[in-house]
Amino acid sequence: MSIRFDTSRPALRIAAFTSALLAAVCSGTEARAQAPITPSLDTEQQAPLALEKQGLIELAPLQGLTTGWHPAPGEFAVPVGTRVRLRVPVDAGQADWGGAEAIGLDRGWAHARCDTSIAGEHHVTVRVESPEMGLVHSQFTLHVVDVHLADIHVGPITATAVPIDMHNGMTGPESLVPYFQPSVAAFQQVGDGTYLTSVERQFRLSAPVQPEIFASIVEWRLNEGPLALGQDRIVSVGRPGVNLIGTTLPGAAAIEVDAYEVEILGHTPAGPIVDGVPVTVFARTNPPGFESLITFLASTKEGTASPMVGHGPVFTTTFHDTLSTTGHQWLGVKADNAADGQEQACGDPSVSDTSLEPGSGDAGSNWTASQTADCFFGVDELVFTWTWRTAGGATISTTEVTVPITGCPGTASGSNTQRAPAGAATVTVTLGASCCGCFFDVDLSEITVSV
């Protein structure tokens, strides 16, 4: 029997953004599709095809605009004279820049800078060849604009929940989409610029930017640290308590997101959740006091549950028909950011209490093998495979015997007796079981003795 519970969650999730170097392009506006780069060649030999990696280029902090390194948006603008520095990972490889000036290597990074002394449009490309990534390239468009930094500002910040479609009456497969969201909690506005939700709940931040050309370079800040670029971002918070979210650019007051964290305490009856048997799940919040806000979701890959959705610190549901035709089961219960999942494969029996003993009165002739097997979905037969060999190791005979088990109980015990053939010096018995709903036997234990 195999049960797997998964309650781990990362501290901070940002949809469509990741701090990993090879992440998607961070842009508040839709990046224009760019034609693949064809590097200039000194020879007539065509260059190998390079795989495009959006977000490969990292953008250093921009004075007055941003405070941290970010993947460069596919298209962005800066005022004339802004210092624009770039980097890409090269490890032991090399980088060839276009539209930017290479300024050297430092601890596995290739650095470059852009000339922003004159207003205009620049197309920056880089081609990287390294042992880790192979041959890749990336690009972005930079607009250098004759605008004073003091004239760039953002308007009021709004925060709205990313919609999650879940309701009683949906099918089990339909429930998988919300279940694997970071959180299914409600996202509520409880005051002017104040919101309440669980950790990991995704919500959308937006703020108008003037001039609009600077929309993709707006930097969001979470608790005084850089978070992401782009005037429209999907984010979440990863710690309980009050979280302040604002922008580096002036003009908009920060908002507060008060977050709580949910922990699933367990369920009754204890042990594996069984079809047709009501199960009650208990949860609590950190800090305490938000238990009435908890949203529960029952989910299953096959079949359904009734009810599928509930609220509060206690949730009772009943699962039905969760076993697939191949003998696999997956189901789970989610409480806001917490999840308690169960996965069972009917071909995972456990065998114990094995023995191989000579018969009384005729030792060396009759031998009896015994075992106890357990399957989550029940045992329908025990399997004994006997192999007799000579002193030299040659196989005399192999016999497989199945012992049917009626009623398909979860645990079953049984034995089988065989008589040693003439010339046998050793016997090996492989013990196994077949589980209800499965179409194969699993051999789990082996005993060899001298006859």
Q: Quote the tokens at residue 226.
A: 């850089």
- Global pTM reads 0.69
Model pLDDT for residues 354-369, shown as the tens digit of each residue: 999 987 655 558 999 9
Q: Quote the tokens at residue 67.
A: 């405070």
- Which H helix or E strand runs over 172? helix 172-179
Residue found by looking up tokens 């997101």 in the block? 257
- Which H helix or E strand runs over 175? helix 172-179
Other CB atoms within a 10 A radius of the CB of residue 162 amount to 15
- Reported as half-sphere exposure (CB side, CA atoms, 13 A), residue 244 has a value of 10
Report the Cα 390 to chain-centroid distance in Å. 54
pLDDT for 39 equals 37
Mean pLDDT within 248-252: 91
User: Residue 124 pairs with which residues in a beta bridge?
Assistant: 140
Residue found by looking up tokens 């806001």 in the block? 336
pLDDT for 348 equals 65
Model pLDDT for residues 83-104, shown as the tens digit of each residue: 999 999 998 678 999 999 999 9
Domains and CATH numbers, the chain: 51-151 (2.60.40.10), 154-260 (2.60.40), 262-345 (2.60.40.10), 350-450 (2.60.40.10)
Cα separation, 162 vs 167, whole angstroms: 16
| Strand pairing class (203-206; 232-235) | antiparallel
Specify the 3-state DSSP secondary structure of 272: coil
DSSP per position, 137-167: EEEEEEEEE---GGG-EE---EEEEPP----
pLDDT for 377 equals 73
Mean pLDDT within 13-34: 32
Angle value at C-alpha 47, between 46 and 49, nearest 5 degrees: 115
DSSP per position, 63-112: TTT-SS-EEPPSEEEEETT--EEEEEE-TTSEEEEESSEEEEEETTEEEE
Cα separation, 451 vs 449, whole angstroms: 6
The band of 346, judged by pLDDT with boundaries at 50, 70 and 90, is: low
What are the contacts of 27-30 at 24+ separation with CB within 8 A? 27/73, 27/74, 27/75, 27/76, 27/216, 27/229, 27/230, 28/73, 28/209, 28/215, 28/216, 28/217, 28/218, 28/229, 28/230, 28/231, 28/232, 28/233, 29/75, 29/215, 29/216, 29/230, 29/231
DSSP state of 179: H
pLDDT for 12 equals 32
Percentage with pLDDT > 70 across the chain: 85
For residue 367, which phi and psi values (nearest 5 degrees)?
-130, 140
Model pLDDT for residues 181-207, shown as the tens digit of each residue: 999 999 999 999 999 999 999 999 999
Q: Which residue type, as a one-letter code, is found at position 79?
A: P
Model pLDDT for residues 291-344, shown as the tens digit of each residue: 999 999 999 999 999 999 999 999 999 999 998 876 678 999 999 999 999 987
Q: Quote the tokens at residue 174.
A: 């339909």
pLDDT for 48 equals 59
Averaged pLDDT of the chain: 86
